[in-house]
Each structure stands twice: as C-alpha cells, then as structure tokens.
Structure 1
Amino acid sequence: METEIPAMLRMREQVRPERFTFHSARMRMKHVNKEELAAMDAASDRCALELSDARVDVLGYACLVAIMAMGRGYHRQSQERLGGATRGNGGEAPVVTSAGALVDALKVMKARRIALVAPYMVPLTRLVIDYIEHEGFEVADWRALEIPDNLEVGRHDPGRLPGIVAGMKTDDVDVIVLSACVQMPSLAAIAQVEAQTGKPVVTAAVATTYAMLGALGLEQVVPGAGALLSGAYAKGGAA
C-alpha cells in the first residue's frame, strides 16, 4: 500500500494534471495467519477514524487476505462499516478494499477464468480462491509462495514472478492475477508477464488504484501499470 500505490499515483501525475497526497494509518500484523489477520481487521475501524481526521477524499484498506479470511463477501460489510466511521467523524469518504477492488476489477475485465499468484501459505491461499470463486470466477491455476513473515512478503523479488507464471497453465485463462496481495511487489513485472503470456495482468495494488481513482471521479489511467489502467477500462474523467 505504501510503496506501489503511491508509485502509481506519481506515474499518473506524469500524464494527467491531478496531484495527490498520501496518508496512512497502520494495523499491526507480523505473521500472515488467520488469527493475526482477524486482530488486524479489528483495528481497521481505528484506522478509518484516524484517517478521516485528515479529511481525505478516499480511503483504501490494503490487506486483501485480511478481508477474505473473514468470510465470503466480507468486503461489502467492511466498506460499509468503515464508511460509517468516517461519517460519524464528520469526514465522510468512500472506502475501497483491495479485496473488493480485485473482485470488481475482474468483473470490469470480463474475466471468467483466472490464474493467480499469492504469497500466502496454502490454507490461506485456498481461502482467497474460495472467496474469489464465490464471486463468480474460476481459478484455473494458482501458486502459493508460502511466505509466512509479512516483512518477507514485502521483500519478495518481483523479478521472480515471470518465471513463476511461466510454470503455470495460462493458455485458457482470461486474466492473470500476478499478486493477490498489496504487500507483495509486482508492478515491475506486469509488462513482462503480459508480453510473455499475451494475457491481461492485474494485481491487488493495481485494482485498488483503479478503484480509488474511480471513487475520486478521475480517469483510471496509469502508464506502465498493465491492462486495467491502460485506459481501455477507464470510466471517470475526460478521455
């Protein structure tokens, strides 16, 4: 959240007139397991309240698996509850979750079958797959990188991703989810994976940026961030 999303906003500033400030509040998590994810999600209300003090225009809840581990469709409940926290503080702002953003992005891209890469352990990855499939998609192939330490997820070399995808069956998928985690870097590998597979690529961070720009009523265009932000799916702003 604090690396690739601001990077995409800076990239957008090179081609569009809007300028952005970035504010963050943190929920604690060290090990990516269901118990710590639940405790992390419980702190999201505090974070929304703190950020609404700054009168921000949109809030993004960045941890995809924290939402998906709470049960099917939970992103809708989370977005409504956190939005209520901003209203109660007199700083109402739309709330985007990376989980909801990824689901919505796959719908926008008219995906039916996807391939997915996640840094999580296998049980959590299966929860993510179940969540996504419950939303109407088929996860045709997937890889769980099984990185339990959250800091190590953030340190994963995106240069490894093209090789990981090369070992997956992607011929019959509509979209490749290169990183089902905002924490795991992937932005630098998107163009290469799109070129080597001939498939559109999306990540949790890209989907979150697309949703946040949409919530701001801005054209959803970021150069170098893959198909979703290429302009082909832009809804807001002037073409």
Structure 2
Amino acid sequence: MADFRHYRIGQVVPSSNVTMETEIPAILRARHDIEPERFTFHSSRMRMTRVTPEQLEAMDADSDRCALELSDAQVDVLGYACLVAIMSMGLGYHRASEKRLHRQMLDNGAPAPVVTSAGALVHGLKTLKASKVALVAPYMLPLTQTVVAYLEHEGIEVIDYEALEIPDNLEVAAHDPKLLPGIARRLDYTRADAVVLSACVQMPSLAAIEEAEQLLGRPVVSAAVCTAHQMLRALGLNAIAPGAGYLLSGAYADSPLPPFLAP
C-alpha cells in the first residue's frame, strides 16, 4: 500500500459559492498520479447571495469566525475564497486579512498559513512576471473596476477587461466556462503578459484554462489556479498540477512565497 502524506485544506467560502469546493479539489487531486500526497477538504461559510458592496463587507466581517472553526479541525492551510470581498475592503487589504485570520488560528492553538484568493492572484501574476494583463470578471462594472484598481495598485497594469455584470452569485457559478476563451479573445490581449480568465473564484474556468492558453498564445490563470499554486507553496510542496495551465506546469514549482504570508 502506498505511503501518502495527508493534508487538510481549509476554505472560507461565501454561503452561495459552489465552485471553489470543486475547482480546488480538482486541481489538487490531479496531482495524485505524480506526487505522494492526498488531500481532504473542509469548509466554513460566510453568508452572501448577491455580489454587492454591502453584502461583501458583512461577509468579510464573518471570516474571523470561519477561521476559528477551521482551526478546530486543525487544517494545514486556510484559503479565503472570495477575491472581490477582499479587494472591496481597500487597497492591499489581503495582507491585513491574511495576518488577522492567521492570528485567529494561532490564538486557538492551531496556526496555519492563510492564503486569500485576492493575494494569490496578485502573487501568481507576479510569479509569472506579468506586468500587463487582460482579465474577465463576472462582477458588475463598479466592482470590476475595483478589481482593476486593486491590481494596478500592486503594480500590475490592466490593459483591457470584460465585466460580465452578473449580480446573482449562483448565476455566476452557472456561467459556462466554454464561453470564456471566446470572451477573452475579444479583449485587447496582444500586449498582455498573461490573461486572467476568471478574476473570481465563483466563476468556473478550470476546464477552459489550457484551451485559452492555446488560443491566446500566452499564460492564462484564474483566481482559483493562483490560489491552488500559493496553497501548495504554503504547504512546502512543489506547485505542480496537470491540466491547470502554465503557472502549475512545473515552471514555477518552487517559487518563493510573498514575505507577508503567515508561516
């Protein structure tokens, strides 16, 4: 019988999110044939049904409770699975969120590294040395512009973007990922170093990442792919996963973590 290393993956997710608990497991389980690990997945939920500033702020306030609950399960890494909730709280907020949630777990005697999808997207793009990007987001235009401003504050120029303007979070999850490569192709991506196919962990895109890379001729990531990459590095594992695009191809398997990430 094979001797596998076992890891518990904790996720803080919006109550209406039905994608992060499918895409992150799919990415990590794709490693089963190449790496000696097995993962289990554990979630705590924050109430949110519509992607509005008011619901996002109320939801983020609930993230401390979720981190405390997941520390009771002694997870090995914690992922905060709502990109725009973090970005709507202010420029650079992912750093404060990651440190605060880590403190919650530390105070409960079960510290674990904390990864936010917002911070992971920033770090994933910087790992690719992508200073110019084009992106697709499901949000209403003002929230999409918030995402653009957040990335640009981090030194990443957004040269073009598409706001799909889907306000209901379950409708975001129902968006067909097969449509995303064609949507991305409409963008002015020729000057982009990379394309963000889904700047949202609720909008599914994993099935379209490698097709989009072939179509667009450059690295393509999503918030979920970047989150998986940073989770693996936070666990001290090589960040490789078949079928998840160039960032997880092995070219950045041992890339360093951002200095503020909680140990």
Please indicate the TM-score interval, normalised by the length of the shorter structure: over 0.9
Match of 2:158 among 110, 133, 139: 139
Aligned position for 2:75: 56
Extract structure 1 runs of 4+ deviating beyond 4 A. none
Deviation of residue 210 (structure 1)? 0.3
Amino acid at match of 2:121: L
User: Is 1:123 aligned to 2:105, yes or no?
Assistant: no
Whether 1:222 and 2:234 are equivalent positions in the alignment is: no
When you count helix as a share of all residues, which structure comes out higher? 1
- Where does 1:145-160 land on structure 2 (aligned, <5 Å)? 145-160=164-179
Q: How many residues align?
A: 236
Alignment of 1:169 onto 2:225: no
Instruction: Write the distance in 2 (CA, Å) between the matches of 1:29 and 1:45.
Output: 15
Higher strand residue share: 2
Q: Does 1:26 align with 2:60?
A: no
Quick one: distance in 2 between partners of 1:189 and 1:55? 33
Task: Give the distance between the partners of 1:162 and 1:144, measured in 2 at CA.
Answer: 14
Q: Deviations over 1:191-221 (max 9, x none)?
A: 1110011010010000000000000000000
Q: RMSD of the alignment, in Å?
A: 0.7
**2:30 alignment counterpart:** 11
Could you say which residue in structure 2 is the equivalent of 1:111?
130
**CA offset at residue 14 of structure 1?**
2.3
Sequence identity (%) = 66
In structure 2, C-alpha distance between the alignment counterparts of 1:14 and 1:159, rounded to whole Å: 26
- The 3-state SS of whatever aligns with 2:45 is coil
The Cα of 1:163 is off from its aligned counterpart by 1.1
State the TM-score, normalizing by the size of structure 1: 0.98
Deviations 1:69-122 (A, max 9, x none): 000000000000000000010111110000000001111100111000000000
The one-letter amino acid of 2:84's match is V
Q: C-alpha distance in 2, partners of 1:166/1:127?
A: 22
Please, which runs of 5 or more residues in structure 1 have no aligned partner? none
For residues 146-193 of structure 1, the C-alpha deviation after alignment (integer angstroms, 9 at most, x for no partner) is 000001111110011011012111111000000000110000111111
Could you say what secondary structure the match of 2:42 adopts? coil
Counterpart position of 1:35: 54
Structure 2: runs of 5 or more not aligned: 1-19, 256-263
CA distance in structure 2 between the partners assigned to 1:113 and 1:166 by the alignment: 16
The code of the aligned residue for 2:87 comes to M
Q: Which amino acid aligns with 1:208?
A: T
